Structure 1
Amino acid sequence: MTKKTGLVFFPAYDYAISPNHPEREERLLYTQDQVREEGLLDFDNIIEFKPDLATAEDINRVHFCVPSIDELVHASHLISVGGTLTAADKVMNKEVDNAFALVRPCGHHSMRVVHGTRGFCTLNMEAIMVEYIREKYGDKNGIKKIAIVDTDCHHGDGSQDIFWHDPNTLFISMHQDGRTLYPGSGFPDELGGPNAFGTTINLPMPPNTCEEGFLYVLDEIVMPILADFKPDLIINSAGQDNHYSDPITNMKFTAQGYAVLNDRLKPDIAVLEGGYSIESALPYINTGIILAMAGMDYSQIREPDYSAEDQKQDPRINDYLKKLKEVTFERWNNRKALRDQVYGNQPFHTRDQDIYYDTAGIRESQTETVRTCDVPDCGGAVTIESRNESRPRLPVFAVQIPRFCCPKCRTWAEDQYNKAEKRLYTQVLLQDKQKDMYTQK
């Protein structure tokens, strides 16, 4: 049965990190040509929409931009993020059944605190879209529990960081093993903070995993966990650099496999992330995803150089993925008891992070403290002390109040903000998701 599918295109013609950088405007130009050549926009159920412009308010629901949004963000970032918000509006207002935002630059490596660009990412599009949906449509449409399934070859460490303490967001990342690829994270024991333990699921796969392996992980791990979590909305961070022809990764997924994945996952909204095989992969993958989301026949999707022989998977990879399934479900099914072993009954938990901005050449040291909370939806209030080690200046102090904050966590967070002395920091920031407010002193 066909579905009404919205498409939002934004190639960002005026934005490139460098002329020959993998993340440049040609990434989407070939896809646009392919979509038009195949006549997809001639179908009544596939509708193109123009992107809106994201605002500072949209960004401030998620990020602490240091020193400011204006100094870090290009117009292309605002339109790229705005494209995801357009897709969300069309789905939430029931103008379409689902939507695919084919936009750039990408965003899933961008964390809560932003000092610059890392992993080609500055603003986290999916996270901004999630908070936008909750703020604008949460009460009206009953949207609380959201699942993000990240199928980019690189671990979505930024999305993981942003939702680390959110019990109502399930973040699942299918990616190449972090021991072999940037950003070097995303292991099965990374399961979330003390108030959201178990809602982070990492599924690292060995290099050279083929279509068989990807679909095994989807069918045997991802789909059962989604059925258990019962999200109100599913978002696919639709990175496409798992493709066998991608120049900066080592996997063997196919365009047909991506179409099957989206057909089975049935995301409400898909957002393009990575994918750097500009001619050999992206036009075919995106065409397959569009057809799958629209409920149309994608069985003939094939790359010109596709080889069935090359899709024979090493039996050792199969063995590894079976063990990954066992480990994942052992932790998922016992997450409450395991949470007590990992975090105990301490009233506060501190986490230190050393974050490298490979694109911007910045090293950040960060200390995060979260208040342990027994209110199921709260997630706990958080403080972050962040220092840009590349600049000899005082750190930034940020306080985050979660969307479903309990009174005790609010009181503690407001106290932390009020007593922070401005003379000790370059900025003191407060992000109040519950009141949709962002301020500083």
Structure 2
Amino acid sequence: MRKIRCKQTGLIFFPAFDWAISPTHPEREERLLYTRDQIFEEGIIDLPQIAEFTPQLASIHDIARTHFCVPQVESQTTEAHLIAAGAAITLADQIVAGLIDNGFALVRPPGHHAMRVVHGNRGFCNINNEAVMVEYLRSRHGLKRVAIIDTDVHHGDGTQDIFWHDPDVLFISFHQDGRTLYPGTGFIYELGGPCAYARTINIPLPPGTTDDSLLYIVDNLILPVLEEFRPDFIVNSAGQDNHYTDPLGSMRITAQGYARLTEKLRPDLAVLEGGYAIETALPYVNMAIILALAGLDYSNVREPDFWPGRFKETSQRTEQLKRLVDGLLKHWKNRDTTLTGRGKTVNGYYEREKLIFYDTDYIEEHQTEKLRICSNCTGYLSIESEVSHGFGQAGKVLCLSVPFGACSKCRNEAADLYTGAKKSVVYNYIYLQDKSSDYLLGYDTKAGKEWRP
């Protein structure tokens, strides 16, 4: 008789003992140590439904496929960053190969505030682990449509930035209202670029939002959108700082709420992001998520100070949420008939200006972003980025990104711009990122040196 394999969930734990912003910073290794102790004490790791893996390192090429790291990838990453991103890749490889059903990368450093261009650390993030993994899957395994559901209390502005112009990546983020919390973004009018309208969906929630509202959003907005989008792969950017005890957020989500969210969402891969209530939240929330991923009973996973009915929604908040969901669904249904973007079109390019602040490294960046409007593909992206470090100028860089599925005209035009810019004295560094051929180049204008990541 053929033996039926039980459903398996892959886990990777990586506390990153050798990486810290400071010894007492909220983003420190204890975030995972308490969880790992809890998982071992409860015997979860020994269940046949659980398989633990050792992470591989993401390559420099994997990072450069997603990010423009200034001046080079090695300048913005440590081994811990490569392991954290590599853990997501390791589990994704196993899932795509059919060796496990789903996975949870419990890793640090986090990544969802890291944008396409990287000059330093912002929001505790240098490298976007989920984005690196998604671009790896699309390049190496040919996956076309991916959905990323960000459940962190902070808006995933880095992930949004990376996929803003990509119609094949659906990014949905629910988070505490940006008017009340870092990074001050993630409003309902942020809906994606002109070729990817409503592939970005933001759900800003008022402080104090509870499990009931969270699950209403899942049932009435996220799941219907996912059903229509039909992704090949679903990623949960699994921040847990919506928990009612988290010191950085002001929400009221419980471990049971996170478990039910996971059960409904059924992500292929969850990747840990925020969550800073090290003792009172993370061991319970992480265990509940693991059990939900593995299809096991999570009903007894409860925080010691929680009781049913502790948090209740007001009728006013419930009505406000329903109006928010209805409005976002209208944007989604009009996604292929509406051109949008908080920018302007000039000489065949869609342009927008961006000001980005790196709160950890105190860097101010100004970007001029231009998207080539093309009738044959989604067009290539040109980004001029200039930063200031305190009182000193760090210079200007030019970043050219050619998307998956780009037409030959756009590929050639971007390559010509790269070649022409090498003769310029305006830029310190020039980068070409051709995802359609996985061809990456960088150029140091002062040294006259070119490299391939």
Q: Output the TM-score relative to the length of structure 2.
A: 0.93
Confirm or deny that 1:27 pairs with 2:31: yes
Confirm or deny that 1:38 pairs with 2:42: yes
Deviation at 1:345, TM superposition (A): 7.4
Equivalence for 1:104: 108
TM-superposition CA deviations, 1:38-61 (whole Å, max 9, x none): 101111120000111111011010
In structure 2, C-alpha distance between the alignment counterparts of 1:374 and 1:239, rounded to whole Å: 38
Query: Quick one: structure 1 residues 436 and 303, their matched pair in 2 at CA, closer, same or farther if it must change by over 3 Å?
Result: same
In structure 1, C-alpha distance between the alignment counterparts of 2:435 and 2:341, rounded to whole Å: 30
Equivalence for 1:302: 302
Confirm or deny that 1:397 pairs with 2:398: yes
In structure 1, C-alpha distance between the alignment counterparts of 2:189 and 2:378, rounded to whole Å: 19
In structure 2, C-alpha distance between the alignment counterparts of 1:341 and 1:287, rounded to whole Å: 40
Equivalence for 2:446: none
Provide the secondary structure at the position in 2 that maps to 1:186. coil
Which sits farther off after the overlay, 264-273 or 328-337?
328-337
In structure 1, C-alpha distance between the alignment counterparts of 2:44 and 2:68, rounded to whole Å: 40
Deviation at 1:220, TM superposition (A): 0.6
Tell me if structure 1 keeps the 8 A contact 2:66–2:132.
yes
Deviation at 1:440, TM superposition (A): 2.0
State the AA in 2 paired with 1:424.
V
State the AA in 2 paired with 1:305.
D
Deviation at 1:134, TM superposition (A): 1.1
Tell me if structure 1 keeps the 8 A contact 2:194–2:341.
no
Equivalence for 1:241: 241
Query: Quick one: structure 1 residues 341 and 159, their matched pair in 2 at CA, closer, same or farther if it must change by over 3 Å?
Result: closer
Deviation at 1:392, TM superposition (A): 1.6
Equivalence for 2:428: 426
Deviation at 1:415, TM superposition (A): 2.4
Deviation at 1:310, TM superposition (A): 2.8
Deviation at 1:73, TM superposition (A): 1.1
In structure 1, C-alpha distance between the alignment counterparts of 2:408 and 2:375, rounded to whole Å: 12
Equivalence for 1:209: 209
In structure 2, C-alpha distance between the alignment counterparts of 1:396 and 1:123, rounded to whole Å: 19
In structure 1, C-alpha distance between the alignment counterparts of 2:191 and 2:409, rounded to whole Å: 25
Tell me if structure 2 keeps the 8 A contact 1:195–1:373.
no
State the AA in 2 paired with 1:165.
H
Counterpart mapping for 1:38-437 below 5 A: 38-138=42-142, 143-339=143-339, 347-375=348-376, 378-390=377-389, 391-420=392-421, 421-437=423-439
State the AA in 2 paired with 1:292.
A
State the AA in 1 paired with 2:352.
R
Deviation at 1:146, TM superposition (A): 0.4
Tell me if structure 1 keeps the 8 A contact 2:411–2:434.
no
State the AA in 2 paired with 1:324.
L
Deviation at 1:344, TM superposition (A): 8.6
Tell me if structure 2 keeps the 8 A contact 1:154–1:183.
yes
Deviation at 1:308, TM superposition (A): 2.9
Tell me if structure 2 keeps the 8 A contact 1:422–1:428.
no
Query: Quick one: structure 1 residues 294 and 281, their matched pair in 2 at CA, closer, same or farther if it must change by over 3 Å?
Result: same
Q: Output the TM-score relative to the length of structure 1.
A: 0.96
Query: Which has the larger helix fraction?
Result: 1
In structure 2, C-alpha distance between the alignment counterparts of 1:282 and 1:408, rounded to whole Å: 50
In structure 2, C-alpha distance between the alignment counterparts of 1:242 and 1:169, rounded to whole Å: 24
Task: Give the share of equivalent positions with the same residue, in percent.
Answer: 52
Tell me if structure 2 keeps the 8 A contact 1:427–1:440.
yes
State the AA in 1 paired with 2:338.
L
Provide the secondary structure at the position in 2 that maps to 1:287. helix
Which sits farther off after the overlay, 96-105 or 401-410?
401-410
Query: Quick one: structure 1 residues 340 and 153, their matched pair in 2 at CA, closer, same or farther if it must change by over 3 Å?
Result: closer
Equivalence for 2:11: 7
State the AA in 2 paired with 1:129.
M
In structure 1, C-alpha distance between the alignment counterparts of 2:425 and 2:151, rounded to whole Å: 44
In structure 2, C-alpha distance between the alignment counterparts of 1:79 and 1:344, rounded to whole Å: 40
Provide the secondary structure at the position in 2 that maps to 1:189. coil
Provide the secondary structure at the position in 1 that maps to 2:104. strand
Provide the secondary structure at the position in 1 that maps to 2:414. helix
Tell me if structure 1 keeps the 8 A contact 2:343–2:351.
no
Deviation at 1:422, TM superposition (A): 3.5
State the AA in 1 paired with 2:289.
I
Query: Quick one: structure 1 residues 158 and 343, their matched pair in 2 at CA, closer, same or farther if it must change by over 3 Å?
Result: closer
In structure 1, C-alpha distance between the alignment counterparts of 2:345 and 2:62, rounded to whole Å: 35
Aligned length: 435
Deviation at 1:416, TM superposition (A): 1.8
In structure 2, C-alpha distance between the alignment counterparts of 1:252 and 1:16, rounded to whole Å: 28
